[in-house]
Chains A and B, each alone.
Chain A
Amino acid sequence: MATIAAEGLLAKSNNRGNLRRRYFVDRLLGALVTLAAALGVALLAIIIAYIVIKGLPAWNLEFFIGHTEPVGVAQGGVGQAIVGSLLMLAVACVLGIPLGIGAALYLSEYGRGAFAEVTQFAIETIAGVPSIVAGAFIWAFLVKTILGSYAGLAGGVALGIIMIPIVARTAQEVLRLVPDSLREASLALGIPYWKTVIYIVLPTARAGLVTAVVLAAARAGGESAPLLLTSLGNDFYNFDLLKPMSALPLIIYKYALSPYEEWHQQAWGAALVLIVVIGIVSLVTRWSVNRSARRLRG
């Protein structure tokens, strides 16, 4: 087979016109795939450029500390949304960090057998649950049944569910990089396994675990669909987790669909806040992941 194909190819390449055609096809498709990659980068650049150009004029002191005001009365700001985002993210972390890292630790340190497979399956499945479905679940479970009203707490729990698989999967990757020789060295000194995990494995993986949490929080912080169904939004400062609460993505949605030009501009301003935070988080985590991976691989 191989020799026949080779002879065929040789016979073809003796034909000059055919060779020219093959070179042409080669160049053309090389150019096309280059263009595809360039398009991806260009899209990012265009979107970021729009957000910076349209969002920056909205930034001033009142934008950051004020809350939603009626159009024409006062400028107002998105302060209550920033506070709401932070509060709900804190709730999300209380749920997402222990469950995510706990499941990842179980899988990396003990993970054999049926229970481990079910845990892995649950993590992968929750990762694939659309965020609006997670929101609909908390809407039906907490808002409609247990709490009886839209609440920041419900929003935080919904975000926590979204954080769990992201934390767990990133943490699994990181824990896999901790060399077994470290665990064995510790055990050889007579240190119990649980102390080995707490004093050797976790500190070794610390940078990566922090990255896992920060990445997950950044993803959750940009979610709006689940918050819409659970925390609903609020025009005023609210620190009570049992009452409706605003968040940056929610206020972008509300302002973008409003008929007022002033609010549109604030929507772009809020989008810029989110993009700046997410951009910094992405760059810093990428840098720290590269560094810790290099260090662990030796």
Chain B
Amino acid sequence: MATMEETTSTASSLLRRRGINPGDRVFRGVMIALSGLVILILVLLTYQLLHDSLPVWQAEGLSFIWSSTWDPPKDVYGALPFVYGTLVTSLIALILAAPVAIGAAVFLVEYAPPQFAGPIAFMVELLAAIPSVIFGLWGLYVMAPVMRSVVEPFLKNSAGKLPVVGGLFLGPSLGRDYLTAGTILAIMILPTVMAVSREIVRSVPDTQREGMLSLGATRWEVIQNAVLPYARTGIIGAIILGLGRALGETMAVTMTIGNSSRQISPSLFTPGYTLASGIANQFNEAGTGLYFGAIVGLALTLLVIAFLTNLVARILVKRTASGPVGATV
């Protein structure tokens, strides 16, 4: 209805208002029906996950999310180990990927000759086109052995001796644990964070750079004081967008995280589960009853976490891309 009231000069709406051609009405109806189906799929998805996980919410209440006992034979379900694994691996991925991705984005916009920037960006973005299961295959047979025999012993002997952070690097190095899964995730989200950061850095107006340069600043001082502060909100958005991808990754994580331990331990050398890998690993045993509801409950929890993350990221990226945020131009 609101569309009819709007004053607009486009020819389409003029014609629509006068209803010149009945074909137009049919065509518009078909387009609306197709759009409606897209909306319906989202509604149905949310409804089905809510409906099928209802038994587990009734049985466990909200403690489903923060209870740490997951014991299918006794029909006790607490999703905390899964939530914890999801957050830990995603955080590792962010810490490893964000500096590299932002650095690469800065290089592409500020340093690279224009004729190279496109091809380099294309090659890094090709990483995003590699299927998750192939990262899993590579992680399992190439990276995990290196982590087990080189990286993890090194970390244990260096950082493991420090007072507080040392607790992160305890225990036998297995090669299939939180750290390996997080590292694989870092490689997978690198292209996402880089591509969005590149757009953001590119949208910083040249006047910002010129003002700083005219004061005699070096190239890096321009980036540090004029470019990055301006782009900060958008870059945070890009990182959160990467987080959104890392949270839901399944196959690569399932193949490298170990899927064996159920207790929560501070060490990154512990095999564990994420929400996604838990679903992939256990759905086949969870045909009926409360177990089925619990697996659907994991999916619903993951959906909610991913939705909120993506929402925040979208808002931040849009705000920067559409103009200055609190910056004086």
Chain A interface residues (CB < 8 Å from chain B) = 5-6, 9-10, 13, 22-23, 25-26, 29-30, 32-37, 39-41, 43-44, 47, 50-51, 98-100, 102-103, 105-107, 109-110, 112-116, 118-119, 122-126, 128-134, 136-137, 139-141, 144, 161, 164, 168, 180, 183-184, 187, 192-195, 197, 218-219, 222-225, 228-229, 249, 252-253, 256-257, 264, 267-268, 271, 274-275, 278-279, 282, 286
Contact = CB atoms under 8 A, between A and B. Distances in A.
B132 A222 contact: yes
B31 A110 contact: yes
Interface in B74-121: 99-104, 106-108, 110-112, 120
Contacts of A278: 129-131
Given A197-B27, A224-B132, A122 B296 contact: no
Contact of A253 (B99, B249, B251): B251
B218 to A, nearest CB: 4
B302 A130 contact: yes
B218 A168 contact: no
Interface string B1-19: 1110010101110011000
Contacts of B11: 183-184, 187, 193
B251 A249 contact: yes
Contacts of A134: 45
A194 B21 contact: yes
A106 B306 contact: no
Contacts of B303: 129-130, 133
A36 B193 CA distance: 13
Per DSSP, chain B at the interface is helix
Nearest to B39: A122
17 contacts: A23-B218, A26-B221, A37-B124, A40-B194, A44-B126, A51-B134, A102-B37, A103-B31, A112-B2, A131-B250, A132-B248, A136-B49, A184-B11, A187-B11, A192-B20, A194-B23, A222-B130
Given A22-B221, A140-B49, A44 B127 contact: yes
Interface in B200-238: 215-221, 223-224
B111 A225 contact: no
Interface size class of B (residues with CB under 8 A): 35 or more
A102 B35 contact: yes
Contact of A37 (B107, B132, B216, B219): B107
A50 B138 CA distance: 8
B327 interface: no
B49 to A, nearest CB: 6
Contacts of B103: 32-33, 35-37
B131 A222 contact: yes
Contacts of B1: 113
A264 B136 CA distance: 13
B126 A282 contact: yes
B239 interface: no
Interface stretch (B61-69, B148-156, B160-168, B276-284): B276-284
B123 A223 contact: no
A128 B31 contact: no
A211 to B, nearest CB: 14
Nearest to B5: A113
A289 to B, nearest CB: 11
Contacts of A6: 215
A37 B140 contact: no
Contact of B302 (A113, A133, A193, A222): A133
Interface centre among A106, A137, A264, A268 (most CB of B within 10 A): A137
Contact of B296 (A140, A187, A267): A140
Contact of B49 (A43, A126, A137, A228): A137
A193 B16 contact: yes
B310 interface: yes
Contact of B2 (A113, A161, A193): A113
A26 B132 contact: no
Interface centre among A5, A22, A140, A219 (most CB of B within 10 A): A140
A246 to B, nearest CB: 13
A33 B217 CA distance: 18
Contacts of A23: 218
Given A44-B127, A105-B31, A132-B279, A256 B255 contact: yes
Given A133-B299, A137-B44, 16 more contacts: A29-B223, A37-B104, A41-B123, A99-B38, A110-B16, A122-B38, A124-B314, A128-B309, A130-B302, A132-B276, A137-B299, A197-B27, A224-B250, A225-B280, A228-B283, A256-B136
B48 interface: yes
B316 to A, nearest CB: 14
A195 B248 CA distance: 42
Contacts of A105: 31
A180 B224 CA distance: 41
B217 to A, nearest CB: 7
A144 B127 contact: no
B295 interface: yes
A219 B20 CA distance: 42
